Amino acid sequence: MKTIISIVDNLSADKLSYTQAVDLLTNGEVVAFPTETVYGLGAIATSEAAVAKIFEAKGRPQDNPLIVHVGSKKEIKAFTHDIPNLAEVCMNTFWPGPLTLILPLKTDTLAKNVSAGLPTVGVRMPEHPVALELLKQLKQPVAAPSANKSGKPSPTKAAHVYHDLKGKIPLILDGGTTGIGLESTVIDFVGEIPTILRPGGITKEMLEKVIGPVGEAKPTDHEEAPRAPGMKYAHYAPDSPVFLIEASIQKVQEAVEKIHNEQKKVAIIASDSFNQVQVDYFFSLGDENQLDDAAHLLYQALRDCDETDVEIILVPVLSKKGVGKAIMNRLEKASNGNWFHN
Ligand code: TXA
Ligand code: MG
């Protein structure tokens, strides 16, 4: 299959690209498109055959459910039921935007492979103008995970999607680099109290301001049945191992020397304050006081490592304040929780 990349300018909407995307989706094909978080790989959420193509293209495990994207709030009435008040408040406050709500799923509405057999479904209305325009023209819910090969960092550029999925999908709508750079916050409204299953750009503090106390799911250990099934898989991982390390220039310098003594190449992914360390490759996460920049740059940096001959990747830990919690959540997965020990 030939993969076409179609550049869509946010302002002067490219009619032909949208028509092509709508036609492909309507005919049961998959299409990659930008959202304000990361690029998604979409299919019509009511077609089991179309949704199966997402799993196939990504190599995604079948028991990991997909997020359903809608162009308007009223669309969710068709496939959810008993929406709690607090969930309504969240939708009114944060949609369109990077917040996914887990809600009770109406039986026999969406394709079964969307929710991996769960009685619940994750929904969000994205804010990106290209995603919104596509959904509004289509007028149907779209199931879409991140448009990366399963296990790799989510794509923040059309080129990342092309790198991972070329030859496997027919069309990528290229809307430039995504804004936030990390996937949406996932919040569960089915349990006793609203609980964050995956931290993201909408933080716990922002949620609590509008709905009061919010719980946080523990990072899933493998014994426990995972609440966000995706959390149990290795994720966001470059080819070479990632190690977390204390955010001290001296500690990082010592670690690099030790790795060099073993004749290995080492990369650092860190804020600019670490660029004085003598290292083989340095990938910047920007100014250490700008966590938004780090969120924006992280997946590109993890992908950049795969373009080098690096053997070990060190990441000094970042603050867990605000979006820092989401950044560290992804880094804990990329590193499999491994710390570098001198
Ligand atoms: O920002 C985003 O959310 C992006 C863009 C494309 O919208 N999408 C995304 O999808 O990150 P994905 O498939 O990579 O991550 C979806 C996460 C997974 O951890 C999955 O297990 C969880 O949401 N999830 C989906 N449906 C769920 C459900 N019914 N119950 C619990 N977790 C669910
Ligand atoms: Mg993903």
Ligand whose nearest atom lies closest to the CA of 41: 1
Query: Given this model, what pLDDT does residue 67 score?
Result: 98
Q: Which residues contact 293 (CB under 8 A, 6 or more apart)?
A: 285, 286, 287
Predicted TM-score (pTM) of the model is 0.95
State which ligand 1 atom lies nearest to the alpha carbon of 100: 3
DSSP state letter for 339? B
Regions in the chain scoring below 50 on pLDDT: 221-225
Query: Given this model, what pLDDT does residue 225 score?
Result: 46
Q: What separation in Å is there between the alpha carbon of 118 and the centre of ligand 1?
A: 13
Query: Given this model, what pLDDT does residue 44 score?
Result: 98
Query: Given this model, what pLDDT does residue 221 score?
Result: 42
Q: List alpha helices for 27-156, DSSP H.
A: 48-58, 85-94, 129-138
Query: Given this model, what pLDDT does residue 328 score?
Result: 97
- What is d(CA 174, CA 5) in angstroms, rounded to the nearest whole number? 6
Ligand whose nearest atom lies closest to the CA of 183: 1
Number of H helices and E strands in the chain, helices first, is: 9, 15
Q: Which residues line ligand 1 (CB under 6 A)?
A: 35, 37-38, 40, 64-67, 98, 100, 102, 115, 118, 120-122, 126, 144-146, 183-184, 186, 197-198, 227-231
Query: Given this model, what pLDDT does residue 223 score?
Result: 37
